[in-house]
Chains A and B, each alone.
Chain A
């Protein structure tokens, strides 16, 4: 997939509002593969909604979202599954990890989805754990880890699939600057390797990357 277009998109809940001043809502916006975007927002401006509209698990919006000129309104279940498996990766603000599984299992359950042996090599995954300083937590239950640690595991998981675009929804909300910097490095390296675009969101502290464009939501 080469580009994502938003045409006059607006969440249904904002319809009653008259004063929408946004770089994204009700505008024509284009995200291209291979570029870095930052979406800055205040709380309650629909940042997570944006992610869920593009990722196809909410449809309560007006206007259109197009992938490579094709409207996503009537995408089939199969198409969305394919997109989530091979084209989009999303690091949720609320992480969506499985507390019953260990950190490694949480990564594996995604990694094994594409490719029998896994999309990323086990060695690479272990290296990422080490770089992010949570190598000792690999076999700990997710539920027993702090949010900041979970955030780092979630990043690793989001890198364990092929993608054209990766969305990171407030990825560093619970991280110190050192870890944020490491995270940014891993993210850009993998995106570059895959030739993918990055779309990051933040409500203040944002991950430091060389953004091509910054939107105000």
Chain B
């Protein structure tokens, strides 16, 4: 093969291949950077609430003075929910299920204080909760319940209560390691449970438990007083900038937290911009792919008599194609490696900037961009291999 390569490397144009190399490098870097930047920025937006994606909206009915006086319920009826679901902008819709039993939680910080408070639980369908599924589940008969608390509660304690009483401040991490004693009563029964705080949410002003627990507990301890109809809905929309959402909510006298809708709009716009940038990267890559193909075709053309002679003295088309295939695939691999190096370098710069704004930020994995890069490499390489093979076959068939 050494001699074959010595023959076939004749007429290789270094400038052409350098041109391809840098053009493709720019394209691949833009694509990978787009993917990575989007992931990272997504983490920044969702970072304040890792349990709820930014594009989930929580909807409730407006509570006005008239409602209270008229005794009108602020719960959603089944008909209203069905109508809501049928709206074009709704991707997923879920209801909050309230607890219909008494909950009393106590919380003991050894040697300092002992809280005890009445409270309530709510649940949403598990698909809306972004916690590892093995953490977010309840097995019947177990006394452990995973709980998500509103972040406000922690702030109230840390900046209000603990400050005033000289108690130690608690971090999310410390609380996560502690157990909340939960006593549930109703229907003439009572039970003790250990609440395990799996996280804090700034989006949800409620105490969230897994839906499976809620269903079981409501059946077991329900006193049959409270209504089963939900008062709040959670939904995922395909496009938060859609005006139809705002007008539908207004028309039906529903409300949602406006700033969340804004945040959703921001991420949506970001997604659009990143998609455009990635599309540009893709176009550059495709063009560079053309440069490569043109140079390889030119090379095959210039060396066609050598290729033909090799085929005639008994070299198989596969063997003759191999050097050029290896050359193109090698270049692609080199481009990917260099692109990843550049990606990591650029990323470490912007992550440094992010960190000064969002100290808690956990940078997401780089795996998605590596996968995108590798998939791109494989697809482009397959095209290269097929193109070179076809070109050699046309020499075999003496079509040119």
Seen from chain A, the residues whose Cβ lies within 8 Å of a Cβ on chain B are 55, 57-58, 77-78, 81, 84-85, 90, 92, 96-98, 100-101, 105, 108-110, 112-114, 157, 161
Q: List 30 A-B contacts (CB under 8 A).
A: A55-B312, A57-B311, A57-B312, A57-B398, A77-B317, A77-B393, A81-B314, A81-B316, A84-B312, A84-B314, A85-B314, A90-B312, A92-B312, A96-B313, A97-B309, A98-B306, A100-B6, A100-B10, A100-B306, A101-B3, A101-B7, A105-B3, A105-B6, A108-B3, A109-B3, A110-B314, A112-B3, A113-B313, A157-B313, A161-B314
Q: Across the A-B interface, how many residue pairs have beta carbons closer than 8 Å? A: 51
Residues from chain A with Cβ under 8 Å of B315 in the complex: 81, 113
| Binary A-proximity of B310-351 (CB < 8 A = 1, otherwise 0) | 111111110000000000000000000000000000000000
Residues from chain B with Cβ under 8 Å of A101 in the complex: 3, 6-7
Task: State the CA gap A98–B309 with chains docked (Å).
Answer: 8
Residues from chain B with Cβ under 8 Å of A85 in the complex: 314
Q: Is the CB of B7 within 8 A of A58?
A: no
Residues from chain A with Cβ under 8 Å of B7 in the complex: 98, 100-101, 109
Seen from chain B, the residues whose Cβ lies within 8 Å of a Cβ on chain A are 3-4, 6-7, 10, 306, 309-317, 393, 396, 398
Task: State the CA gap A92–B305 with chains docked (Å).
Answer: 14
Task: State the CA gap A157–B309 with chains docked (Å).
Answer: 13
Looking at chain A's contact residues, the main secondary structure is loop
**Residue of B310, B312, B398 ringed by the most chain A CB atoms within 10 A:** B312
Can you name 18 extra interface pairs (CB under 8 A) apart from A92-B312, A109-B3?
Answer: A57-B312, A77-B317, A81-B317, A84-B313, A85-B314, A96-B312, A96-B313, A97-B309, A98-B7, A98-B309, A100-B7, A101-B3, A101-B6, A105-B6, A108-B3, A109-B4, A110-B314, A113-B313
Q: Is the CB of B3 within 8 A of A77?
A: no
Residues from chain A with Cβ under 8 Å of B6 in the complex: 100-101, 105
| Distance of A105 from chain B, by nearest CB (Å) | 6
Residues from chain B with Cβ under 8 Å of A100 in the complex: 6-7, 10, 306
Residues from chain A with Cβ under 8 Å of B3 in the complex: 101, 105, 108-109, 112
Task: State the CA gap A180–B356 with chains docked (Å).
Answer: 87
Q: Is the CB of B312 within 8 A of A77?
A: no
Closest residue of chain B to A110 (Cβ to Cβ) is B313
Given contacts A96-B309, A101-B6, contact A77 B396 (CB under 8 A): yes
Task: State the CA gap A98–B306 with chains docked (Å).
Answer: 7
Task: State the CA gap A114–B319 with chains docked (Å).
Answer: 13
Contact for A109 among B10, B311, B313, B393, CB less than 8 A: B313
Closest residue of chain A to B1 (Cβ to Cβ) is A112
Task: State the CA gap A197–B338 with chains docked (Å).
Answer: 57
Closest residue of chain A to B6 (Cβ to Cβ) is A101
Task: State the CA gap A81–B10 with chains docked (Å).
Answer: 24
Task: State the CA gap A85–B316 with chains docked (Å).
Answer: 9
| Distance of B300 from chain A, by nearest CB (Å) | 16
Residues from chain A with Cβ under 8 Å of B398 in the complex: 57-58
The 7 closest A-B pairs by CB, nearest first: A84-B314, A85-B314, A81-B316, A109-B3, A96-B309, A110-B313, A113-B314
Task: State the CA gap A78–B4 with chains docked (Å).
Answer: 19
Residues from chain B with Cβ under 8 Å of A84 in the complex: 312-314
| Distance of A37 from chain B, by nearest CB (Å) | 21
Residues from chain B with Cβ under 8 Å of A81 in the complex: 314-317
| Distance of A204 from chain B, by nearest CB (Å) | 26
Closest residue of chain B to A108 (Cβ to Cβ) is B3
Task: State the CA gap A77–B319 with chains docked (Å).
Answer: 12
Residues from chain B with Cβ under 8 Å of A113 in the complex: 313-315
Closest residue of chain B to A160 (Cβ to Cβ) is B313
Task: State the CA gap A215–B393 with chains docked (Å).
Answer: 35
Closest residue of chain A to B4 (Cβ to Cβ) is A109
| Distance of A120 from chain B, by nearest CB (Å) | 14
Closest residue of chain A to B393 (Cβ to Cβ) is A77
Task: State the CA gap A108–B317 with chains docked (Å).
Answer: 19
| Distance of B117 from chain A, by nearest CB (Å) | 81
| Distance of B321 from chain A, by nearest CB (Å) | 12
Residues from chain B with Cβ under 8 Å of A110 in the complex: 313-314
| Distance of A95 from chain B, by nearest CB (Å) | 9
| Distance of A123 from chain B, by nearest CB (Å) | 20
| Distance of A50 from chain B, by nearest CB (Å) | 15
Q: Is the CB of A78 within 8 A of B316?
A: yes
Task: State the CA gap A133–B285 with chains docked (Å).
Answer: 56
Task: State the CA gap A113–B320 with chains docked (Å).
Answer: 12
Closest residue of chain B to A85 (Cβ to Cβ) is B314
| Distance of B16 from chain A, by nearest CB (Å) | 20
Residues from chain A with Cβ under 8 Å of B306 in the complex: 98, 100
Task: State the CA gap A92–B309 with chains docked (Å).
Answer: 11
Task: State the CA gap A114–B10 with chains docked (Å).
Answer: 24
| Distance of B6 from chain A, by nearest CB (Å) | 7
Task: State the CA gap A7–B365 with chains docked (Å).
Answer: 70
